[in-house]
Amino acid sequence: MSNFDSTNKQSWKEVLHVYSRPRVIGMLFLGFSAGLPFPLVFTTLNTWLRDVGVERTTIGFFAWVGLTYSIKVFWAPVIDRARIPILTGILGQRRSWMLVAQTGVIIGLIGIAYTNPIVQITTVALFSLLIAFSSATQDVAVDAYRIEAVKPELQGAMAGTYQSGWRIAAALVGGAAALYLAEFFSWQVSYLCMAICMGVGVTTVLFIEEPEHSIAREIAMSEERVVNYLERAAHVPNYLRNPTAWFIGAVVCPFAEFFKRNGYWAIVLLLFIALYRVSDIVMANMAYPLYVDLDFSKAEIANVAKIFGITMTIFGAMFGGALVYRIGVLKTLLLGAILVAVTTLLFAQLAVAGKSLAGLALVISADNFSGGLAGSAFIAFLSRLTNTTYTATQYALFSSLMTLPAKFLSGFSGIIVDAHGYPSFFVYSACLGIPAIMLVIYLLYNQHHIPAPSTGDQ
């Protein structure tokens, strides 16, 4: 893993020049499309539900909609290999799946706009599930495109622009703008406008070029396991034999390759992936309900998120991407893990101190900066673990595992707040970040013993 912490002796001006590359810039808009649905089924939706009087315990359970993002690994092989009739021939594998997923998000947003949470909470949950499923599908396709579109040394920059676009959409549009629209018009108008904003992603998909893939169907079918199966199953009818061979090549081989390549370290790496984002994901589920319960208006929350939050998000994401390029991904991951745990404690302080616009600005700024920095480093880390022969499937495994423990724990966040209060909850959330800090230190000290990242060219 020495490549993870390779340093770059170029000047900061030269380092930052990587952000001028066309495909790096394009990730800004794909990041926007990926980030927009996220708050609309989590923080913004939580604010809507609390605003109309839905119980906090019920709001907490809505976090389990996010488990969709954590199980996307199950359909990632389909996105990696399966072609969409006509559409894939026109747009290519990655772009066609992006477009289909974006359409699903738009349908879900329109549906939820015409639903009343007070009397139709189950319908709200179902439309949220559609949005989350479609958004997770889009993530798989976008992640595969991002990894395949540029060389490994540019993944930090790709992560930086992706994170910036993601956060702009999540904080400024799906967060602040959605709250403004709800404050001055209605929640229905807000969600309908968000559906229109998904047009940014649709337009981007139509303009970008499909990246070259390092795997074709012929290569997949030549995998040793597939060949062995075909030889043993010569007596099996083709209608059973061929789909089984496809399953082995598309599903079994990607996971087997990762474990074979990394050996013992595969377990350590997967454990680290599962724990790195736990603290900030669990904390985020109750952040907006806290703002509401402290009597901040939707406009006040939006103002602070727009002025302070989005600026610090972009700075954190870009700075994180540059740090990865200059000092290495593991050192940047360590800095990000520490910052995330420390900034989570600021939420506990805000809960104790009470309503304060200055306090809200500090909390949102610190949270967004640390989240942007840690996010860029973590995306670059996961990208470098991925063998480009199995881009979508392996990255989906990592990103699914990244959110699974956190989303499960998030479902109990409302119960903890109701039982022990906001300060105790946020201290608990900060403590959840300690294992990630310990593990990244362990990886730093043992990096030379871990197998180097692999590509489809090996």
The CATH number of residue 105's host domain is 1.20.1250.20
Mean pLDDT of 369-379: 88
Report if residue 29 sits inside a domain.
yes
Q: State the pLDDT confidence band at 446, using cuts at 50, 70 and 90.
A: confident
Token pair listed for 393: 């499937």
Element spanning 44, H or E: helix 43-51
Domain residue limits at 164: 2-449
CA–CA separation, 180 and 390 (whole Å): 42
Alpha helix locations (H) across 233-328? 238-247, 253-262, 264-276, 278-284, 287-293, 298-304, 310-327
Report if residue 267 sits inside a domain.
yes
pLDDT digits (tens, 9 = 90+) for 209-265: 888 765 544 445 445 555 555 556 656 666 566 566 656 666 677 777 778 877 888
CA–CA separation, 156 and 379 (whole Å): 8
- Indicate the range of 118-122, 336-340, 364-368 predicted with least confidence: 118-122
Sequence-distant (6+) residues with CB within 8 A of 111 are: 127, 130
CA–CA separation, 77 and 39 (whole Å): 27
- Statement: residue 15 has pLDDT above 70: no
Q: Are 221 and 245 in contact (CB under 8 A)?
A: yes
- Statement: residue 89 has pLDDT above 50: yes
Report if residue 387 sits inside a domain.
yes
pLDDT digits (tens, 9 = 90+) for 37-81: 998 998 888 888 888 878 777 787 777 887 888 788 788 888 877
User: Using CB atoms within 10 A of its CB, is residue 167 exposed (0-12), middle (13-18) or buried (19+)?
Assistant: buried
CA–CA separation, 271 and 379 (whole Å): 16
Pick from 274, 343, 288, 276: nearest CA to 312: 343
Q: How many domains does the chain have?
A: 1
- The number of angstroms, rounded, from the C-alpha of 62 to the middle of its chain's C-alpha atoms is 18
- N residues, the chain: 458
**pLDDT value, residue 127:** 94
**Percent of the chain at pLDDT above 90?**
29
CA–CA separation, 160 and 380 (whole Å): 9
CA–CA separation, 152 and 332 (whole Å): 16
Query: Which range among 306-315, 319-328, 366-375 has the greatest average pLDDT?
Result: 366-375
Report if residue 454 sits inside a domain.
no
Report if residue 458 sits inside a domain.
no
**pLDDT value, residue 457:** 41
Specify the higher pLDDT residue, 291 or 70: 291
Q: State the pLDDT confidence band at 5, using cuts at 50, 70 and 90.
A: low
Residue type at position 107: I
Pick from 19, 21, 26, 25: nearest CA to 205: 26
Specify the higher pLDDT residue, 112 or 221: 112
**pLDDT value, residue 239:** 54
Mean pLDDT of 288-302: 84
- Statement: residue 91 has pLDDT above 60: yes
Q: Are 375 and 156 in contact (CB under 8 A)?
A: no
- Statement: residue 458 has pLDDT above 80: no
Q: What is the mean pLDDT of the chain?
A: 82
How does 429-449 read in b/e, with b if 16+ C-beta sit within 10 Å?
bbebbebbbebbeebbeebee
Report if residue 457 sits inside a domain.
no
Report if residue 441 sits inside a domain.
yes
**pLDDT value, residue 249:** 61
Give the DSSP letter string of 95-161.
Answer: HHHHHHHHHHHHHHHHHHHT--TTT-HHHHHHHHHHHHHHHHHHHHHHHHHHHHHS-GGGHHHHHHH
- Statement: residue 2 has pLDDT above 50: no
Q: Are 159 and 399 in contact (CB under 8 A)?
A: no
Q: Are 53 and 186 in contact (CB under 8 A)?
A: no
- Indicate the range of 107-116, 133-142, 143-152 predicted with least confidence: 143-152
CA–CA separation, 202 and 101 (whole Å): 10
